[in-house]
Structure 1
Amino acid sequence: MIDHNWYLEHRVLEVRPIGPLTEDDFQSLAAQVDPVIRECGRLSGLLINAQHFAGWDNFVALLAHLRFVRDHQKHIHKIAVVSDHKLLGIMPRLVDHFVSAEVRPFASAEFQRALDWLGEPG
């Protein structure tokens, strides 16, 4: 499941993976994000709160995640990854080559700093 919250008048979306991700999770997330992108043109930011990231339910779910990224990354200005996991801390440097958004890691104690950064113009 992917829980979510909107911030800054639907300009920044926080997503929180809860348990192993499924294909349906990404369809549900797209149903939340796509209307905002249609109305506003793009999201100012995406905050990935990955404190409890448990991976994917199966390979089909991983492919759905990759399709979601491919289809939506060009509509997101900045991405903040909030996690204390070391691997997720280096993830922004890896995905930076595949997405047009600026991506930065933040420790869990820096949640508000990450949200503030996403709301900054630029």
Structure 2
Amino acid sequence: MLSIGMVVALTHLSLGLKPIEVHGEAEWIMRDPAIAWCCGPKECAVVPEGAVQLEGDSWFVPATRQRFKMGDPHTYWSRDRKMWWCRVKGNLTGAPMEGPVQCLFVPKLEF
């Protein structure tokens, strides 16, 4: 049985219309099979200014006390010049973007 979303997408494609973007600017995360597991449609966003700090060779998220290092399983290169994160639902409220960071996408430094 197909979900309503799948039926809408297939109908949209069969009519020759452009695919529906359900993930906004973060669409590239959900479309890449290697990283699509990181988040759902409401769990990825550009990291707010100051929410992640570069400390030595890792990135530190003060709000969750997490550290990410390039090469670790949950740290990836961003496809644009923005830093992105995928955050799971918070423990207390169950709201998206309040829980731990599932994946961190960092822009490559250009010299």
Higher helix share: 1
- TM-score with structure 2 setting the length: 0.22
**Bigger share in strand:** 1
Pick the structure with greater CA Rg: 2
If the length of structure 1 is used for normalisation, what is the TM-score? Answer: 0.21
